[in-house]
Amino acid sequence: MHSMHIISLSRALALAPMLAVFGLAGCASDPAVTPGAAAKPAASATAAAPVVQPAVVSAEAARELFIVLPEDERIYVFGDTKNYFQYLEHSEVSLTRTRIGEGPGGRTLVFGITNDDVKANAPSLAERVIDKKTPASGDFHGEVFKDGRFYVFHTLKDMNDFIEHGEVALAFTDIGAGPNGASIVWVMNKESMAKGRPTATMERFKAIRSASK
């Protein structure tokens, strides 16, 4: 009896280290004790979160642009009525910036600028519009004086097309109805033509001149 107890005890002692090893192996394979595995999904979700960038909105839009096309093949561009009317009356303005050969067809661009433009040492409104850095407003008004006629536009696109190609497809013309007996050509497109004569544009043409007096 005593010898059998001793043998069983010795076997148990011999097996104890092996059981301990198996026990440790079982603990090592238990996923509950590996916090790194549980933290990875959270880190992945954070990395996948999109970065929202603020929308860039132009704070300025051009309501008016005026161009004169004299016989010297230059393009005179104005962003203000004062310089525009001064040029129409005297064929010159005090302050200009010139870009030789940079206009449509290799023509020279001459921008009438203001004292504020000079002080700011920055492009004028007219320059920014021509450079497509400033868009036209929804109530845009444009004028081109060419060959004794005023061509009047309500979209910048139609105005640019005229400067480039020199002709219009759709228009209403009032002969001799403009300043000093000049004719006025109200330039239209397919959309505006369906609405009839551009009464709002006509009133704007008059209002601009009344405001300058």
Structure tokens at 171: 């228009």
Residue 1's CB is within 10 A of a number of other CB atoms, namely 5
Supply the pTM of this predicted model: 0.72
Structure tokens at 143: 């004028």
At residue 35, the pLDDT reads 44
Give the residue among 99, 95, 146, 141 at the shortest CA–CA distance from 116. 95
**Across the 213 residues of the chain, what is the mean pLDDT of every consecutive 10-residue run?**
40 40 39 43 45 46 97 96 97 97 96 96 96 97 98 98 95 97 98 97 97 85
At residue 203, the pLDDT reads 98
Look-up: residue for tokens 């021509």?
130
At residue 83, the pLDDT reads 97
At residue 68, the pLDDT reads 98
Cβ proximity of 131 and 163 under 8 Å? no
Q: Which amino acid is at 130?
A: I
